[in-house]
Structures are given as C-alpha cells and as structure tokens.
Amino acid sequence: MENLLHYIFQKFVGPSFSVSFPSGRTETYGTNKPILHVHFLTQKALSKTIFQLSLGFGESYMDGEILVDGPLDRLMEIDHANAGRLPQWLISTLAPVRNINVKHNQSKQIQHHYDLGNDFYKLWLDPTMTYTCAYFKSPGDSLEKAQLQKLDHVLAKLQLKKGMRLLDIGSGWGQLLLRAAEKYDVECYGVTLFREQHKLSNAKARDNKLKGKVRYHLQNYQDIPQSEKFDRIVSIGMFEAVGRDNLSDYFKALSTHLKDGGLSLLHTITKDNTSPTSAWVDKYIFPGGYIPAVKEVVSQLHDFRLELTDYENLRFHYALTLDEWRSNFEKHIPEITRMYDERFVRMWRLWLASASGSFRYGENSLSQFVFTKGKNSELMQTRDFLY
C-alpha cells in the first residue's frame, strides 16, 4: 500500500508536501519546501485513503489515525492541482452509496447539519448568527460588519419598495428579513426546516417588535401554499441543499410564487464544472447536498420564464468568511469538546479548513444570480445604485 501511494504521489504537481508512512518511511513530493506534512499512523488509514479516497481520508483524520502538520486548508490546493492526475480506478473503486435527496428525506438530512443547537453556532458565528458568505468591503472589516454589509448588498439588489412582499427560502436565523422589514418596510415570509433556527428567528421578531411584519414558518419551500405570491424572492445558502436531481423543483416553486415582473436573488455556492459531492461531505456534513455548476443554474431559467439580469462572483469573500469562522471555532475548542467530543472537533476542523481551501485554491465560487419572472423594464438599468 505504501508503494502504491508513493507511486501516485510521485506524479503530483503543484505545492510540495511530505508524507510519513506507518513503517516509519518519510518521503517528500515536489522540489520546494513542503507546505505541510501528512502522517499516516496506521495501515488501516493508508488502505482506507487509497480505496475510499475522500471518505477514507476524512474518517481516518476524524479518528486521529491521520495527522496533518501545517495549514490544513492547503490540502485543497494540493487536491485541486492534481484533480486530473488520480487514476480513474482510484476514484471509482468501492464508491460509497450516497444519500438520496428526495422530499421526505430533506428535513432529516438538513437538520443533520443545522440542528446541532444554537449554542454551538453562537460560539463561532457573528452576533447576527449569519451562516453564509459575508461581504468584506475592506480587509479590516469585522465578521459582523461584513455580514451586515452582505445583507445590505443583497437587499439593495432586490430593489425593494415599501409594501412589497418578500419571501426568504431558507431563512436561517432570520436576520435578513428583520433587516428588510426595518429598512424597507416590507412584509416578510421566511421558511426553514431547522427547528432551532425557527425558534430563535421568531424570538428575534418578537424582541424587535416585528412579529406582525415578519413571519417565519417551519416548512419545506415546496409546501408553501400556491396562493402565496411575492414581489421579491431571495434565497441565501439554501440552494446547495436542494439536491442534484431537484434543481428544477426549486425553480418551478420559485416561478409559482413570484409575481410577473418580480425579482429574485439566488446566493449559492457554485463549482466550475459538474461533479458529484465528496463522499465524506455527503456522509458527515451535508447529506444529500450538491453544489451546482454555474451552467446548471443558468440552464434552468428559460424553462420557467426567468430572465438573468445580473451575476456576481464573490469567491474570495467566502474564503475570508471561513477564515473568521475557523479562528472563532479554534478559540472555543474546550467548550465544543465538552458539548460533543474530540472526533466531532476534528470533523468540523477538517470541514471548515477544506471549505476555506476550496474557495481560496479550488473550484468553488460564491455566486449571486439576479433574475426576473418575465420582462421587467422598470428596474435600475445600471449598478450605480448598489454603491
């Protein structure tokens, strides 16, 4: 097994790295100073990595059978540089069964990630409890400031007017709708599948005396009554949970509820090309989730009378956001370990680092699509109003 992995690593390009094998053998791959060192402590970890790739490596890291010295996020730089250099048999051999994303599974799958408890997320998110890409106007922006800037950036793109109805699909902990109601005096309807988020969102609405103007529903977006129509629809960080086979279901529902001429913004992670979800992410992080390619999103619009009016890529903003989350997470390791265990800590450490690396070095981007239902010639014709 050592010789096989050694043979594969010898063909790698990009950043140099070093590896220690269970036998005690150490090798360096590349000609420059290694950016990190990977320790395979057991033959089991070596075998699992060879035959199950992302799942095997991820589980072995979680179990403490693989250690990484150096910046963990740069694993993604090595991975991305060599995506086309892995033998096809290595990618396909013993491929694990993936979680199927169908409607009756969605609540359970999504709650797997988000219903870990508000106390957990409060430790490392900013005070607004916004768990999506922030918007950094300057390097010195705090995470909270950047998150509020993101909300304002999104709301500006929606071109809201007093009295409009706004639907938030995947309303999270509710901050976007609270800000929309306060700044633009619009009627807000939010849906989430997460019990903890639903509870906290409604508490925020009561505390801000917006209960009559902002309503949060514990509801699948596909179950919104067809009679509910909206001038604006927004979705931030929810589309990744829709599932590869259900993209058209989302746009069908959106078209059903968006008034003619209405405006919608979709804020979602996208990839450069179509590819399946990592088996480790599918099992441990986002069961049934899928990150679409930009072309998969755009190709859906025409079928549902949706016209793309604006696109923006905020890729590096997500890398900066994840840097902040990772820093906050590491400051609270003792509390998180007491809440869960060391294996959980290693799992989340690997998840946050690999996510950060995927935006900084890999193929992930953060896309904001703006589109109308049918034609709307009354919208702002330049982007000046955003700035």
Residue 115: per-residue pLDDT: 56
Token pair belonging to 127: 């005070």
Task: Name the 3-class secondary structure at 234.
Answer: strand
Helices (H), the chain: 2-10, 43-62, 75-81, 88-92, 103-114, 118-124, 143-157, 175-184, 195-207, 247-257, 279-280, 294-301, 315-331, 333-339, 342-360
Kindly report, residue by residue over 42-57, the tens digit of the pLDDT.
999 999 998 887 899 9
Residue 84: per-residue pLDDT: 72
- pLDDT-derived band of residue 348, with 50, 70 and 90 as boundaries? very high
Residue 350: per-residue pLDDT: 97
- The 8-class DSSP code of residue 281 comes to I
The strands making up 364-373's β-sheet, listed across from edge to edge, are: 214-218, 187-192, 165-169, 230-236, 258-271, 364-373, 306-313
Residue 196: per-residue pLDDT: 85
Kindly report, residue by residue over 156-168, the tens digit of the pLDDT.
999 999 999 999 9
Region 144-161: mean pLDDT is: 98
Kindly report, residue by residue over 235-271, the tens digit of the pLDDT.
999 999 998 889 999 999 999 999 999 999 999 999 9
Least confident of 101-115, 218-232, 293-307: 101-115
Region 133-154: mean pLDDT is: 97
Least confident of 52-61, 84-93, 170-179: 84-93
Q: Which residue has the higher pLDDT, 103 or 319?
A: 319
**How would CATH label the architecture of 2-92?**
2-Layer Sandwich (3.30)
pLDDT over 70 (residue 97): no
Q: Confirm whether pTM is higher than 0.75.
A: yes
Do residues 216 and 188 lie in contact, with contact meaning Cβ atoms separated by under 8 Å? Answer: no
Q: DSSP string covering 121-173, please? A: HHHHS-TT---S----SSTT--HHHHHHHHHHHHHHHTT--TT-EEEEES-TT
User: How many angstroms from the chain centroid is the CA of residue 114?
Assistant: 12
pLDDT over 80 (residue 109): no
Residue 93: per-residue pLDDT: 46
**How would CATH label the architecture of 103-386?**
3-Layer(aba) Sandwich (3.40)
pLDDT over 60 (residue 386): yes
Q: How many Cα atoms are found within 13 Å in the side-chain-facing hemisphere of 75?
A: 22
pLDDT over 70 (residue 88): no
Residue 108: per-residue pLDDT: 57
- Which residues have CB under 8 Å from 343's CB, separation 6+? 62, 63, 64
Task: Name the 3-class secondary structure at 105.
Answer: helix
- Which residues have CB under 8 Å from 205's CB, separation 6+? 174, 178, 211, 214, 215, 216
Domain definitions of the chain by residue range: 2-92, 103-386
pLDDT over 70 (residue 233): yes
- pLDDT-derived band of residue 277, with 50, 70 and 90 as boundaries? confident
Region 176-186: mean pLDDT is: 96
pLDDT over 60 (residue 24): yes
Of 143, 127, 372, 348, nearest to 254 (Cα)? 372
Kindly report, residue by residue over 278-336, the tens digit of the pLDDT.
889 988 998 888 999 999 999 999 999 999 999 999 999 999 999 999 999 999 999 99
- Which residues have CB under 8 Å from 361's CB, separation 6+? 73, 74, 76, 77, 80
